[in-house]
Amino acid sequence: MATKAPVKALLVAAVASGQGKTTVTAALARKLVRSGKRVRVFKCGPDFIDPMLLERASGAPVRTLDLWMVGPEQCRGQLAHAAAEADVILIEGVMGLYDGTPSSADLAREFGVPVMAVIDASSMAQTAGALVHGLRDYGPVDMAGVIANRVASDNHAKMVAASLRDIPLFGTMPRQTRSLPERHLGLVLPGEVNDIDQLLDALADQLVFDEAAWDQLRAIDIATPPAAPETMPALAGKTIAIARDPAFMFLYPANLDTLRALGATLTFFSPLADEAVPDGADAVYLPGGYPELHAEALSRAHAWRSSIRAVHAAGTPIVAECGGMMALADTLADQSGATWPMAGLLTGTVAMQPRLAGLGPQGLPTEQGILRGHTFHYSKLATTLQPAAHTIKHPSAIPGEAWYRAGSLTASYFHAYFPSNPAATAALFLRSPV
């Protein structure tokens, strides 16, 4: 019989991006941790950067929840595991509450999680009530309360609170004199901000919330799903070398868990530090990241470039996603327009674009079924190489990203979520039969 673990949980959502969801979630997590609570944070929807910041704020690993990419049962299992070891679960939503198929609202309803609405109150007062009631009733969702961001004064907060009627104003934050730094793909990586912990503490100090309202939040029951079938160790005895440094940081922790569950031994190296692919690697995984910010250094990393060419020539499987693929093209033009030579395993040139060039959930058809994931990039690859396949966009089912094969290299802008299809994942890292 399934067990249940009651826990206080909130899905932090908003009417749109830019309202301050990540700031508020990070501030709330840090404030609760400092009060002695055990906090687990999740991110709704595909994202690499926000989870790093939220992990720093909460002091615990942050995993992905997505009803399509991750799947309801894996989401439930992650929530149940967190409920067994935490006092509070916070889930940061994606975009607006009802945006996407599935949306943050769909996730909240699936697991009975109350919604905490974050609103940017800087240019409104009483209209806040109309906005929040619309957010609650459109779905509907269980609206636990509101955190008003960028509030100008106590009187401003009182006007917002009065407009909410039967929905409590859970907390307020003033306009931040210093916010979390951003760049083209989202927030700056936490490790690049020297005083990130002081900034998180300052945000927590600025968050004023109603202790009584917090005490009245109901706990939810999350049923533990049946144990998932054991993953067959198709990569037993294989060593996979994984690039990990500031140029290659976009990696789902669950992907590493899946590779280990498949039996692989993982070893990490830094192309940016001009480290060669480790000796004895049976496969190489180059995840996404920010190669465009480090293009000059990568162009001068001669040991890295010669080693990846050598393992490719030896027929070693190489899986390159987004930034990993960019680093294997002939050249990479950065945001200033400067062009730098890359490893040259994939015929073509990469250039940064002024606007987003790809975004959204997609699935890669394979012999083992659909491997789900997403795409999010500002660059474009110009190549004469014909794609071996295309991903399929969700939910439109139209063709998505090109998926290339060049010898033992498979490369695409597509970021795969390995737990969605372990068998297809294993096939990517195994040598093709001769």
Give the position of tokens 């939910």.
395
How far apart, in whole angstroms, are the C-alpha atoms of residue 132 and residue 118?
9
> Dihedral of the CA atoms 378, 413, 247, 182 (nearest 10)?
40
How far apart, in whole angstroms, are the C-alpha atoms of residue 41 and residue 341?
40
DSSP-assigned letters across all residues of 311-331: HHHTT--EEEETHHHHTTEEE
Opening angle at CA 218, ends 216 and 221, nearest 5 = 165
In the numeric block, which tokens belong to residue 302?
A: 């001669």
| Known catalytic membership, residue 75 | no
- Residue 43, phi then psi, degrees to nearest 5: -115, 130
Opening angle at CA 412, ends 229 and 62, nearest 5 = 50
DSSP SS3 for 395 = coil
Q: Which distant-in-sequence residues (6+ apart) come within 8 Å of 276 by Cβ?
A: 269, 303, 304, 306, 307
The residues facing 389 across adjacent strands are 403
- Residue 380, phi then psi, degrees to nearest 5: -135, 145
Sheet containing 339-341, strands listed edge to edge, beginning at the edge strand earlier in sequence: 339-341, 329-333, 346-352, 379-382
- List the end-to-end C-alpha distance of the chain, in Å, as a whole number: 48
How far apart, in whole angstroms, are the C-alpha atoms of residue 23 and residue 325?
31
In the numeric block, which tokens belong to residue 285?
A: 């995984």
Catalytic residue among 322, 351, 371, 428: 322
**Residue 69 belongs to what H/E stretch?**
none
How far apart, in whole angstroms, are the C-alpha atoms of residue 180 and residue 199?
8
Catalytic residue set? 322
